[in-house]
């Protein structure tokens, strides 16, 4: 499933240092010539491809980036130090546009791993540069030029890493809201979600993934029943499925374990009918709406359901509404995705 992750940032290259006006003054040399050094160049701002990043989530916390300024020149023909360059890591596929002019500056990919987005100012010239046969004691110098400043729009086309499955009103959209900045419609009736919804889940620095929520599935979805049938194909390119199960009944009490097991089996069967490969994806069980049940009741359902299904994959008990357990679920998901990525890289190396 593809969608656009976007971020707006401001970048400022470093200013160049000023040139220096200085004259050589030493013992026995009272009228030495000019020895003012040049200023250092300002640092550049460059976007660089980072294979271990897959979203623009880190740019939500930090939006202003500035390279170092160049130092001023000094006497004895000493040039100022250049400002430190700033290299900003971005994921592959990031398209960079200047916000003011809408000019596309470039795209970071395997063929273009770096993109200079703001050039540093040039260092000013010291008075030594202005010495001539007719001007032996010049007092001219030039100041450093300012570095470029730009407002950039970063746009990244993403594939969803994690897909949410479940019957209508299982709490998929609520979970997406709890762990990401996405704001899908949430209401207490089935089929609130009419279109696929996606969000970027930021777990920590340089750790994030994309989660996809599709409309709830019904028995017969693989044959076209219900809204979810049109969107099952979007989950084919995810790497991990989270199967949400509402532990409560329509009356708000604990649902019978047998009914829940039947629901899980039905969804799994629809996946298999639709696509064997999709059914073979790793699938975790996520028991939702724990806030509506006593803790011991939720534990009883978890034990009974996993036993009846002979479930061996990970199981999580959460409340998407209160957020309980969602951070642990997100952290476990990103760790598993990282492991799958390493396994994929190892397989690629073995096949070369």
- Looking at the fold, whether 195 and 79 belong to one and the same domain comes out as no
- Looking at the fold, whether 73 and 199 belong to one and the same domain comes out as no
194 CB-side CA count, 13 A: 2
pLDDT value of residue 186: 46
- Looking at the fold, whether 137 and 209 belong to one and the same domain comes out as no
Q: At 173, list the tokens.
A: 């959209």
**Residue in 156, 5, 154, 155 with CA at minimum distance from that of residue 65:** 154
| 155-213 confidence digits (pLDDT tens) | 886 667 898 888 878 888 889 889 987 665 444 433 344 456 778 898 888 788 888 88
Q: What is the pTM of this model?
A: 0.59
pLDDT value of residue 217: 62
- Looking at the fold, whether 226 and 270 belong to one and the same domain comes out as yes
Domain residues for the domain of 66 are 2-157
How many domains, in total, are found in the chain?
A: 2
- Looking at the fold, whether 323 and 236 belong to one and the same domain comes out as yes
pLDDT value of residue 75: 92
pLDDT value of residue 311: 95
**Residue in 328, 240, 335, 258 with CA at minimum distance from that of residue 290:** 328
Distance (Å, rounded) from C-alpha 194 to C-alpha 184?
10
- Looking at the fold, whether 173 and 280 belong to one and the same domain comes out as yes
pLDDT value of residue 182: 66
Distance (Å, rounded) from C-alpha 234 to C-alpha 164?
11
Collect the ranges in the chain with pLDDT lower than 70.
1-5, 157-159, 182-196, 215-234, 237, 345-352
Instruction: Please report the DSSP string for 59-97 in residue order.
Output: GGT--EEEPPPPPPPBTTTBPPPPPPPEEEEE-TTEEEE
In angstroms, what CA-CA distances link 148 with 12, 44, 301? Answer: 6, 9, 61
- Looking at the fold, whether 147 and 179 belong to one and the same domain comes out as no
Indicate which CATH number applies to the domain containing 219: 3.40.50.300
């Amino acid at each position: 499933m593809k969608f656009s992750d976007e971020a707006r940032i401001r970048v400022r290259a470093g200013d160049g240092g000023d040139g220096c006006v200085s004259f050589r003054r030493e013992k026995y040399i009272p009228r030495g010539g000019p020895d003012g050094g040049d200023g250092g160049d300002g640092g550049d701002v460059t976007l660089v491809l980072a294979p271990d990043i897959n979203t623009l989530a880190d740019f939500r916390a930090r939006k202003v980036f500035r390279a170092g300024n160049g130092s001023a020149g000094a006497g004895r023909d000493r040039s100022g130090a250049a400002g430190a360059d700033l290299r900003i890591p971005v994921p592959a596929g990031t398209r960079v546009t200047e916000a003011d002019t809408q000019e596309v500056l470039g795209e970071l990919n395997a063929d273009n791993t770096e993109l200079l987005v703001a050039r540093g100012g040039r260092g000013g010239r010291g008075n030594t540069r202005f010495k001539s046969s007719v001007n032996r004691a010049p007092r001219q110098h030039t100041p450093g030029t300012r570095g470029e400043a730009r407002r950039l729009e970063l746009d990244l086309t993403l594939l969803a890493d994690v897909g949410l499955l479940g019957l209508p009103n299982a709490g998929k959209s609520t979970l997406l809201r709890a762990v990401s900045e996405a704001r899908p419609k949430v209401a207490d009736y089935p089929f609130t979600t009419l279109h696929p919804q996606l969000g970027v889940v930021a777990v920590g620095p340089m750790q994030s993934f994309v989660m996809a929520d599709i409309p709830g599935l019904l028995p017969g979805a693989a044959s076209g029943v219900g809204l979810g049938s049109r969107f099952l194909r979007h989950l084919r390119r995810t790497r991990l499925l989270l199967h949400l199960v509402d532990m409560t009944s329509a009356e708000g009490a604990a649902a019978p374990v047998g009914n829940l097991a039947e629901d899980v089996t039905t969804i799994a069967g629809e996946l298999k009918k639709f696509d064997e490969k999709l059914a073979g994806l790793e699938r975790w069980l996520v028991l939702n709406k724990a806030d509506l049940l006593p803790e011991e009741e939720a534990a009883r359902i978890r034990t009974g359901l996993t036993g009846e299904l002979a479930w061996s994959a990970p199981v999580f008990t959460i409340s998407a509404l209160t957020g309980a357990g969602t951070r642990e679920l997100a952290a476990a998901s990103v760790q598993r995705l990282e492991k799958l990525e390493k396994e994929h890289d190892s397989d690629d190396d073995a096949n070369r």
